[in-house]
Structure 1
Amino acid sequence: MARFEDVDPTPTPTLREPGQRVSPRARLMWQISNLVEGVVSVAILGAAAAVWDAVDLTWWMATIGLLAVAVYVGVVPQWRYLVHRWEVTETAVYTQTGWWARERRIAPMSRIQTVDYAESPVARLFGLATVTVTTASAAGALQIAGLDRLRARELVDELTLRADAVEGDAT
C-alpha cells in the first residue's frame, strides 16, 4: 500500500479547455476561405445540374446551395473561433480544435520533436500564421491555426527552447 509520502507531487497534465484564443482576425480569414470554397462548390454543382438537366431542379439546387454557403460563411467561422483554443504551460502544449466535433490534445514538452511555423497566402494577407507541434504520437501533430504572425514566431521560439530544456529524446 502506498503511503502519502510515496505519491509523486509532480502535477500531471489534465485534459482541460486551454485558456488562449486564436487571433480575432482568424474569423474573417475563415469566412473568406469558406466563401471561396462554397462558391466553387455551388458552381461545380450548378454546372453538373445544367449538364444533367434531365430534371428541372436547377433553381432549387442553387437556392439550397446558396443557403448552405451562407451558413458556412456566416456561422462556421464564428463557431470555430469560439472553440479553437491553445495554451502552453511549463510541462505541455494544450490544443482544442473543431467546429462540429471537438478534439482536445496535450503534447508534453518531453514528447515534442519539431515546432514549425507556416503562413498560407491567405493567412499572410491577414497577418496570421499556423504553428505545428510534431510529436511521436500516432494521432499526428498539434496545430494552432489563426495566430497573430508575431505571436506565432514567439511561440515557436518559446516551444523550441522549452522542449530543448527537457531531458529525453522525444520518442
Structure 2
Amino acid sequence: MSESETNESETGAGVTGAGRFGTGDGGTLRLRPPAHRVNRTAVTWWRSRILLTGGAVVAVLVVLALVLPGGARFWLLAPAAGFAVVTVVAAVGMPLWWYRVHRWEVTGDAVYTRTGALWQEWRVAPMSRIQTVDSERGPLEQVFGLATVTVTTASAKGALTIPGLDRDLAADLVHELTETTQATPGDAT
C-alpha cells in the first residue's frame, strides 16, 4: 500500500460515493476487506494499555516479594520477571499486528469491520439493522485523541466496534451513521 493510500485509509479522505466514509458502491452486501485502517496512534494506545496492565501485575508481584518473608521472594520475583518479559514482547508485537488487521468502512448500504488477533472476525451490518451508534473515549483514548465507535445492531452477535479512530473522525462518523440510519427504511429488528 502506498503512502497516499495509507493516509487516505487513515483519514477517510479521498473517498467518493456515500459520504466521507464509504465507497458508495451501492451494490449488494458482500464480505470483503474494509478499506480504512484505524488511526496510526492506536498502536501507541494499545501499547500503553498492555504496558500499564502488565506493569501493574509485575508491580504487585514485586511489592509482595519485598513484603513477604525471604523464602517467598524467589517464587514471586521469578514470575514477575517472566511476566515483565512477556508484557514487553506483547507490547512490541501485538499492537503492530492489530494495526494491520483492524479495518473499517461505511458505505451507503452497510458498516464493514474486521477485527481480531489470532481469530479474525469480519462483520457486515446493513444500515437497516443498525439500532444505535455510540462513541466512547476512555482515559487513555482521551490522552491520545482517539475514540471507539460502537454500532449496535439487531443481531444476536452483538455490536460492531471500531476502536482507534481519531476523535474528530469518530464524531463525524457517528453523525453520518445516525443520519444515514434515520433515512434508511426498515425497523432495525
Does TM, normalized by the shorter one, top 0.5?
Answer: yes
Between the two proteins, the alignment pairs up a number of residues equal to 162
- 1:38 maps to amino acid: G
- 2:37 maps to amino acid: R
User: Partners in 2 of 1:100 and 1:44 — Cα distance?
Assistant: 29
Structure 1 residues 82 and 12, CA gap change in structure 2 (3 angstroms)? same
Aligned 1:50-89 pairs, distance under 5 A: 51=68, 53=71, 56-89=74-107
- 1:168 maps to amino acid: G
> Does the residue aligned with 2:114 lie in a helix, a strand or coil?
strand
2:27 is matched with which residue? 11
> Does the residue aligned with 1:114 lie in a helix, a strand or coil?
strand
Cα deviation for residue 49 of structure 1 reads: 6.5
User: TM-score, normalised to structure 2's length?
Assistant: 0.78
Q: Deviations over 1:84-125 (max 9, x none)?
A: 110001100000111221111010000000001111111011
CA contact (8 A) 2:148 2:161 kept: yes
Q: Which moved more, 1:38-47 or 1:71-80?
A: 38-47
> Does the residue aligned with 1:156 lie in a helix, a strand or coil?
helix
Cα deviation for residue 63 of structure 1 reads: 2.8
2:54 is matched with which residue? 38
Aligned 1:1-171 pairs, distance under 5 A: 11-46=27-62, 51=68, 53=71, 56-171=74-189
Structure 1 residues 47 and 112, CA gap change in structure 2 (3 angstroms)? same
User: Partners in 2 of 1:124 and 1:54 — Cα distance?
Assistant: 40
Cα deviation for residue 42 of structure 1 reads: 2.4
CA contact (8 A) 1:38 1:72 kept: no
1:6 is matched with which residue? none
Segments ≥4 residues shifted beyond 4 Å: 45-55
Cα deviation for residue 56 of structure 1 reads: 3.8
CA contact (8 A) 1:129 1:148 kept: yes
Q: Which moved more, 1:85-94 or 1:37-46?
A: 37-46
Q: CA RMSD in A?
A: 1.9
